[in-house]
Structure 1
Amino acid sequence: MDNVSVVIIFSLSGINETVNYRVTLFTFTLLYYCVILFVNISLIMIIILDENLHEPMYIFLCSFCINGLYGTTGFYPKFLLDLLSSSQEISYSGCLFQAFIMYSFACSDLSILAVMAYDRYLAICRPLHYHSLMTKRRLSQLVCFSWLTPFCIFSINVLLTSKLKLCGSKIEKLFCVNWIIVKLACPDTDTVSNSVIAYATIFIYVSHGFFIIWTYMHLIKKCVRSTEDRAKFMQTCVPHLVSLNTFLVAIVFDLMFMRFGSRDLPQSFQNFIAIEFLLIPPVMNPLIYGFKLTKIRNRILGLVYIKRKLTRKK
């Protein structure tokens, strides 16, 4: 570690190997970020503007897309600036803020997936009680839960991290992560509180995972008995399962590599693992839901048909 008494600026070393092809990488990254913005904003606007889509499942999906925009905006603009800059640095406060966004984005995704699983459980396993249980008030509570829980947890995480005395300023990633900042703490610094909160966070979100497994055990059991429920499961639950599996694979790979991975691997491979959860889910989720859910697909096809009709008239 560097002998740093007061850290004001962090250096991000994950981008060092991109010197020879930064312009190309900048172009493709900018185009990809534009795609993320387009597909997510399009789906959000379709859901907001179409009153037929003002149902719990679509509102949760809208929240899912908003969270995708939130997380990617915490990474891509800074990354694009770094590609154009000769030195990749970030202020201490900026680093903590980015770490907060990255973690809260990832955990909000899991929380939203959990409430979406609960919604599907009620819709398929308890259809007669669905509207009495999934009221507007309950819907608001679930949306608030999926956003406020990670925000509160990681506010505490970042607050505790901000009080640590650091003896290093080099972050070997493309972006700031709370765990990496904690690892830069001086040897004599007490990090017990950070560890306790970290394990508590892991427990909370592992519980989310078990809850999702529990709901799908009931969903599969119910759908095996009925052809109608099986069709509903294939239409509404399969996109959810694909999103869940993609998210879990991306996050678990990153967390495992961050703690146990070898630093002998190529930097480009390390970078891909680190940003996988910012690359695949934000584009894949709106596309899967857009094409799989009938109401949204019909709405998109309707808009395309109207556009073609207007073009022919001109």
Structure 2
Amino acid sequence: MDDEANVTYITLSGYVEVQKYRYLYFLIMFTVYILILCCNFTIVCLIWMHKNLHEPMYVFIAALLLNSVLYSTSVYPKLLIDLLSEEQIISYSACLFQYFQFYSSGGSEFLLLSAMAYDRYVSICKPLQYPTIMRKTTISIFLVLAWLLPACQTSVQVILSADMKLCYLTLKGIFCNNSFYNLNCVSSRARSIFGVFVLLNLGLFPFLFILFTYTRILIISYQSNRNVRKKAAQTCLPHLLVLISFACLCAYDIIIVRMESDFPKIARFMMTLQVVLYHPLFNPIIYGLKMKEINKHLKRLRRCC
């Protein structure tokens, strides 16, 4: 029997007038993807090249930007292929793999932001203990856990979904996100329970931890001198902006994408684009403009060019 006959294909119906605007969509998406790669890798290379940036804070920033590239690469290559194709389809196995890449890197982003928040907390609230707490071993453990935990937990969700029967083959989206749960004939209790566990473990708890650390930083900074307040503002504000941006996009994914409602197709399409268009570019722009040392090296690079 031909193997292709046993492959289940899912239609991605989230595009708006793709036949009419396919080349415009492709040009915009391709340009943004190249910008994402260039902007993120530029700052990562600057951090790698300059020894004064070999500090825990900048190592975590480099890891976050590399994660943004992984996050984008889980979507863009397939997205660009779909825009030039007559049919926007994806096999169920490829859909599960894209889901794994997307949510694994998304979970890693929250954990990396948590590690950065902890680093700032120790730096500002416990400056004398900073060198002994934030050692290379500690940083390595944080980085390994930030990528390993989401990958392991997301893989369990994929395994639980792999053998579930599909009753619908049309996905209301432009890539495989949480909305693919609505394709199953019946909902899985085990998958739902584990999904809540993953949401708490990789989303809510890290978010609350970040809020706690920045609240402590705010209290300590308010009670300290002007230099401490200035340091806190310079290093913490970019992290908070990135956190707020990413948290809003995650809230959309959880509340809207998983709801079977009459949410307008064009509004759904525009909001989904925000997830893959502006956020991966937002990170390097924020850190490039707001982090003093990185901005200094960027200015030197522009003068050289």
TM-score (normalised: structure 2): 0.94
What's 1:303 paired with?
A: 301
Q: How far 1:264 moved relative to its partner? A: 4.6
Counterpart AA for 1:200: F
Tell me if structure 2 keeps the 8 A contact 1:182–1:191.
Answer: no
Counterpart AA for 1:171: L
Q: How far 1:221 moved relative to its partner? A: 0.2
State the 4+ residue runs in structure 1 displaced beyond 4 angstroms. Answer: none
What's 1:137 paired with?
A: 137
**Among candidates 197, 203, 225, match of residue 200 of structure 1:** 197
Counterpart AA for 1:35: L
- After superposition, where does 1:43-122 map in structure 2 within 5 Å? 43-122=43-122
* Pair 1:250-2:249 in alignment: yes
1:197 and 1:275, CA in 2 relative to 1: closer, same or farther beyond 3 A? farther
SS in 2 for 1:102: helix
What's 2:29 paired with?
A: 29
1:58 and 1:292, CA in 2 relative to 1: closer, same or farther beyond 3 A? same
Q: How far 1:93 moved relative to its partner? A: 1.4
What's 1:286 paired with?
A: 284
SS in 2 for 1:239: helix
Cα deviation code 1:61-118 (max 9, x no counterpart): 0010111000111111111111110001111211111011111121111111111100
Tell me if structure 2 keeps the 8 A contact 1:9–1:169.
Answer: yes
Q: How far 1:242 moved relative to its partner? A: 0.5
- CA distance in 2 between partners of 1:79 and 1:239 (Å): 29
1:230 and 1:148, CA in 2 relative to 1: closer, same or farther beyond 3 A? same
Counterpart AA for 2:270: F
- The CA RMSD over aligned residues, in Å, is 1.6
Instruction: Report % sequence identity.
Output: 34
* Pair 1:164-2:164 in alignment: yes
* Pair 1:271-2:269 in alignment: yes
- CA distance in 2 between partners of 1:219 and 1:22 (Å): 48
Tell me if structure 2 keeps the 8 A contact 1:17–1:268.
Answer: no
Q: How far 1:273 moved relative to its partner? A: 1.5
Counterpart AA for 1:303: L
- CA distance in 2 between partners of 1:53 and 1:264 (Å): 45
* Pair 1:230-2:225 in alignment: no
Q: How far 1:129 moved relative to its partner? A: 0.2
- CA distance in 1 between partners of 2:138 and 2:242 (Å): 24
- CA distance in 1 between partners of 2:78 and 2:262 (Å): 24
Counterpart AA for 2:290: K
Q: How far 1:181 moved relative to its partner? A: 2.8
Aligned residues: 299
Q: How far 1:7 moved relative to its partner? A: 5.8
Tell me if structure 2 keeps the 8 A contact 1:12–1:171.
Answer: yes
- CA distance in 2 between partners of 1:275 and 1:105 (Å): 17
The unaligned stretches of length 5 or more in structure 1 are 1-5, 308-314
Tell me if structure 2 keeps the 8 A contact 1:47–1:62.
Answer: yes
TM-score (normalised: structure 1): 0.91
Q: How far 1:18 moved relative to its partner? A: 2.3
Counterpart AA for 2:248: V
Tell me if structure 1 keeps the 8 A contact 2:43–2:288.
Answer: yes
